Amino acid sequence: MLFVRFFITAIVLLSSGWVFAVKDQVPYATQVNNLMRYYRATPNIATSGALSQDSIQELAKHSFQTVIDLRNESEGTPAEKKAVEAALMTYINIPVSGDGVNESQLAAFKQALEQASPPILVHCATGNRAGAMWTVYRLNEGIAPDIAFKEGRTAGMNAGMEEKIRKIWCKGAKEGC
């Protein structure tokens, strides 16, 4: 009788979606392969460097729904768009140069995050621009600068880009950053 109750409870939980509650979450770095500089920024958002055909398949395997590409067209965005969409994921391109992140790019990024289905991957060629965008986004969300910059560096932002982000985004900050 106890087995029957357990079996019925398991079926109810499975059918209610309770067991699949983590489906919309990004995996931890130890759970993925073929992704350069992969970083789990939040339970729903990860960042990385360049994607290959293998890494796109890895994203699909882990149920990613959206890829936000911060590269420019000359870096291969049309081919990636085609590959990502063929893997049944949504592709969004927000071109960011090595000059840093500006207001319009941040606005487009925020809008993309609001409209995108999770899990979401944000990437560029090396993780540098993805880390910079993450830093600026977190600063804009009111996160303490030391935390925002640490997260950005962990996501791949290099020292040169960090300096640019500090010049652009910290000049008017009361507490500095």
In three-state secondary structure terms, 99 is coil
Q: Which domain holds residue 92?
A: 23-169
In a domain, 175, yes or no: no
Number of domains in the chain: 1
Residue 12 lies in a domain: no
59, part of any domain: yes
Domain CATH for 136? 3.90.190.10
Q: Is the pLDDT of residue 56 over 70?
A: yes
Q: What is the pTM of this model?
A: 0.85
pLDDT per position as a tens digit, 68-107: 999 999 999 999 999 999 999 999 999 999 999 999 999 9
Q: Which of 85-89, 136-140, 169-173 has the lowest mean pLDDT?
A: 169-173
Residue 17 in any domain: the answer is no
Whether 31 contacts 62, CB under 8 Å:
yes
Residue 35 lies inside a defined structural domain of this protein: yes
Q: Is residue 58 part of a domain?
A: yes
| Residues sharing a CB contact under 8 Å with residue 177, sequence separation 6 or more, in sequence order | 139, 145, 146, 148, 149, 166, 169, 170
